[in-house]
Structure formats: structure tokens, C-alpha cells
Amino acid sequence: MTTSSADWQARQYTLFEEERTRPVRDLLDATQPATARTAVDLGCGLGNSTETLLAYAPDARVLGVDNSADMIAAARKRLPRIEFELADISAWKAEGPYDLILANASLQWVPDHETLFPRLVAGLAEGGRLAVQMPDNLDEPAHRLMREAAADGPWCDKL
Ligand SMILES: C[S@@+](CC[C@H](N)C(=O)[O-])C[C@H]1O[C@@H](n2cnc3c(N)ncnc32)[C@H](O)[C@@H]1O
């Protein structure tokens, strides 16, 4: 499954920011990137994961990448000193090498992991880290019930 850049809206995302940012803290706790000098946040959203990354690696030069113009605008407003790029991860070319490539809750939307992951690893500096978290919750009750409700009613041919 992929998303279109128009699917992501900063205002809606902000409503659950604290809950959404918790996994990136868990990921960075496991990665310990304090000494990273160069880092990129792929699918940076409105800059919440980028801001968290900066708290863990305050000396790093950080780039945020996202394909939603709305999210990138919010990220630039939130972190005016950080560089953000409007780009699709599928086509994005690492100008690294990076000490850390972070992708929290984004790569599940990007197809063709067989070529994507080796390409990202090739963008790492020696000893660099690729830190990825992808939710796998499509069979959780909330998702199952949404599918069932969508399929079971007079609206089913419209959804
Ligand atoms: C669930 S949000 C994660 C945001 C942030 N990383 C966080 O930890 O909260 C997923 C983000 O990935 C972006 N995204 C989805 N597909 C993308 C793609 N192909 N290229 C770039 N960004 C993408 C969306 O625009 C959205 O901002």
C-alpha cells in the first residue's frame, strides 16, 4: 500500500503527536545516536521525529525528507534552522554518507523494500546506522472493524 502526499495533513497529525512520537523515542533509545554528525529523517512528517532526533544527537547536521508539502511546511515552521526537503523516499538519493538514517513509521508506505533497503544502507557511513520502525497493525481490532463496517452496509460499493 502507498499513500499520496495529499493524504497527510499536519493539523490532523498534531492531534495525536505525543502518542505518535513515543515509538521514535523507543527507536532512538535502542540506536543511541549521540555521536552522529550527519543524519537524515525519512518521512519526517511535521518535524516531531526530527526534533526528537535532534534531542538525541544535538551536534548532528540533520536533513528531514517528506513527500507531503503540508507536513514539510509545518516542519520548516517548527524547526526553522533545519533543512527539509520535499521528496519521495522512493526517488530520494542519499548525498551522505550518513551516520544515521532514521525512518519512523514511514517506510511501510514505500514499495519495493528489496531495492530500497540496500540503497539506504549504501548511503551510510562506516559504522553508520539505519533505524527503522514500521507498524504492522492492519490485523488489529480497530483496522479489522473498519474493514468490516466498510464492507457491510449500503455504502459498501462507494467505499
Ligand atoms: C506516520 S507519519 C510519520 C511521521 C514521523 N516520522 C513520526 O515519527 O511521527 C508518515 C510520514 O511519511 C510520509 N511519507 C509517506 N510516504 C512517503 C514517501 N513515499 N516519501 C516521503 N515521505 C512519505 C508522510 O507524508 C508522513 O509525513
Assess if residue 159 is contained within a domain: no
Say if residue 1's pLDDT is above 70: no
Euclidean distance between CA atoms 79 and 14, whole angstroms: 15
Ligand 1, atom 10: closest residue by C-alpha? 106
pLDDT tens digit sequence for 75-105: 999 999 999 999 999 999 888 899 999 999 9
Q: Which of 8-12, 16-20, 22-26, 91-95 has the highest mean pLDDT?
A: 22-26
Contact between 102 and 42 under an 8 Å Cβ cutoff? The reply is yes
Instruction: Decide whether any atom of ligand 1 lies within 6 Å of the 44 Cβ.
Output: yes
How many domains does the chain fold into? 1
Closest CA to 44 of 102, 98, 90, 131: 102
CATH number of the domain to which 79 belongs: 3.40.50.150
Q: Tell me, yes or no, if the pTM score tops 0.85.
A: yes
Ligand 1, atom 27: closest residue by C-alpha? 45
Assess if residue 157 is contained within a domain: no
Assess if residue 156 is contained within a domain: no
| pLDDT score recorded for residue 13 | 67
In 10 A of CB 72, how many CB atoms? 24
Which structural domain range is residue 116 located in? 5-151
Q: Which of 27-36, 49-58, 105-114, 138-147 has the lowest mean pLDDT?
A: 138-147
Q: Calculate the average pLDDT of the chain.
A: 90
| pLDDT score recorded for residue 119 | 96
Ligand 1, atom 14: closest residue by C-alpha? 43
Say if residue 70's pLDDT is above 80: yes
* Amino acid, single-letter form, for residue 147: R
Instruction: Decide whether any atom of ligand 1 lies within 6 Å of the 104 Cβ.
Output: yes
Assess if residue 16 is contained within a domain: yes
Three cell numbers at 125? 557511513
| pLDDT score recorded for residue 145 | 93
